[in-house]
């Protein structure tokens, strides 16, 4: 569980932070300037993916221990939190009772989603700790720190250089991810065996051969 959490965190953190920082050029290149009002949503909503990824190893572990009710409870709690926050954050008011609300619209919906997934993460981590004694992997903090530094660098690059073409976007994103892993390397969090594991995983030919052997029952 701890190792899967570590690798998932290591992979997802830079992708999500890059999406958040580069939201404007992503929308400009993939959609159009007409969708610029959606930039705040794109900067908020991807965070729920990160939270779900961090919760997944613990949820899978508890399911493997024949505790499906934990997953059910987590989903139920997240639904309740999401609905309540949507009621508070999306509309401007409830005219029938004269109550003023946040009126954030789609941004409010994105915030509600992220908060509900955060609550779900806290719940599943607490239950996993009570049931198994696993407190989590502190190395996630290193990933968060490296991603924050990467995000700051990308933010400064975006302020200096206009990213208007898809290849420019890919180049800046690749630079950011390269910096992220370089920072982890300096922190001694990204090692040779990690690099070899990633390269082995990305070996499409080997992966297809493995799938073929599995289908043949070898």
Q: Which pLDDT value is given to residue 113?
A: 97
Distance CA 210, CA 204 (A): 10
Q: Which pLDDT value is given to residue 17?
A: 97
* Three-state DSSP class for residue 100: strand
Distance CA 81, CA 135 (A): 25
What pLDDT tens digit does each residue of the chain (218 aa) get? 788 899 999 999 999 999 999 999 999 999 988 999 999 999 999 999 999 999 999 998 898 888 889 999 999 999 999 999 999 999 988 777 778 888 899 999 999 999 999 999 999 999 999 988 888 888 999 999 999 999 999 999 999 999 999 999 999 999 999 999 999 999 999 999 998 888 877 775 666 666 666 666 55
Q: Which pLDDT value is given to residue 208?
A: 64
Distance CA 15, CA 59 (A): 22
Q: Which pLDDT value is given to residue 142?
A: 96
Whole-structure pTM value: 0.88
Distance CA 129, CA 119 (A): 15
Sorted by sequence, the CB contacts under 8 Å of residue 91 that are 6+ apart come out as 101, 103
Please answer whether residues 107 and 40 qualify as being in contact, where contact means their C-beta atoms are separated by less than 8 angstroms.
yes
Q: Which helix (H) or strand (E) segment is 101 a member of? A: none
* Three-state DSSP class for residue 48: helix
Q: Which pLDDT value is given to residue 77?
A: 97
Which one, of 19, 10, 34, 16, lies nearest residue 169 by Cα?
Answer: 19
Distance CA 89, CA 106 (A): 9
């Amino acid at each position: 569980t701890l190792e899967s959490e570590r690798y998932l965190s290591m992979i997802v953190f830079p992708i999500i932070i890059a999406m958040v920082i580069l939201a404007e050029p992503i929308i400009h290149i993939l959609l159009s300037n007409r969708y610029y009002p959606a930039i705040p949503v794109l900067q908020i909503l991807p965070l729920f993916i990160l939270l779900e990824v961090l919760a997944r190893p613990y949820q899978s572990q508890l399911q493997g221990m024949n505790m499906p009710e934990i997953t059910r409870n987590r989903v139920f709690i997240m639904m309740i939190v999401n609905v309540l926050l949507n009621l508070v954050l999306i509309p401007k008011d409830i005219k029938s009772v004269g109550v003023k609300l946040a009126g954030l619209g789609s941004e409010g919906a994105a915030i509600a989603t992220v908060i509900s997934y955060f609550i779900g993460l806290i719940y599943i981590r607490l239950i996993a700790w009570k049931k198994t004694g696993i407190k989590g992997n502190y190395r996630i903090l290193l990933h968060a720190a490296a991603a924050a530094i990467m995000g700051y660098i990308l933010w400064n690059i975006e302020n200096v250089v206009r990213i208007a073409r898809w290849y420019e976007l890919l180049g800046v994103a690749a630079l950011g991810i390269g910096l992220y892993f370089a920072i982890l390397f300096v922190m001694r969090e990204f090692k040779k065996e990690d690099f070899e594991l990633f390269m082995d995983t990305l070996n499409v030919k080997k992966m297809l051969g493995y799938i073929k052997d599995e289908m043949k029952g070898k």
